[in-house]
Amino acid sequence: MDLYESRNSGGSIIVVPRMGESQLFWTQGYLVLKGYFANYAKEALMLANELAESRGKNVVLEPSKEEVRSVFAVHESETVLGELAWSGAVDTIRCLLNDQVYIHQSRVNFKRSGGTGWGWHSDFETWHVEDGMPDMCCASLMIALTENTRENGALRVIPGSHNYYISCPGETPDENWESSLVDQVAGVPDRAAISGLVDLCGGDPVALELDAGDAVIFHCNLMHGSQENKTGTPRTNLFYAYNAEGNMLQGPFSGKKPRPQYAATRVFINEGI
> Contact positions toward a copy of itself, by CB under 8 A?
2-23, 25-27, 92, 95-98, 125, 128-129, 134-137, 163-172, 186-187, 189-190, 192-193, 196-197, 200, 221, 253-255
Q: How far is the CB of 262 from a copy of itself (least distance, A)?
A: 23
User: In the bound complex, what is the minimum distance in angstroms from residue 21's beta carbon to a copy of itself?
Assistant: 6
Q: Which residue from 228, 189, 186, 187 is spatially nearest to 63, judged by alpha carbons?
A: 228
Residue closer to a copy of itself, measured from CB, 3 or 267? 3
Query: Shortest gap between Cβ of 78 and a copy of itself (angstroms)?
Result: 31
Burial of 119 (0-12, 13-18, 19+ CB in 10 A): middle
- For the bound state, the minimum distance from the C-beta of residue 4 to a copy of itself, rounded and expressed in Å, comes to 5
CB distance 135 to 272 below 8 Å? no
Smallest Cα–Cα separation from 219: which of 261, 165, 183? 165
Comparison of 15 and 273: residue with beta carbon closer to a copy of itself: 15
Give 73's contacts (C-beta < 8 A, 6+ positions apart).
58, 105, 106, 107, 261, 262
Q: Of the two residues 64 and 195, which places its CB atom closer to a copy of itself in the complex?
A: 195
- Nearest CB to a copy of itself, comparing residues 44 and 186: 186
Residues 6+ away with beta carbon under 8 Å from 50: none
- Cβ at position 178, least distance to a copy of itself in Å: 18
The Cβ-side half-sphere exposure at 149, using a 13 Å CA radius, reads 10
CB burial of residue 143 (10 Å; 0-12, 13-18, 19+): buried
Q: Which is nearer to a copy of itself, 35 or 251 (CB)?
A: 251
Nearer to a copy of itself, 28 or 106 (CB): 28
Min dist. Cβ of residue 72 to a copy of itself (A)? 23
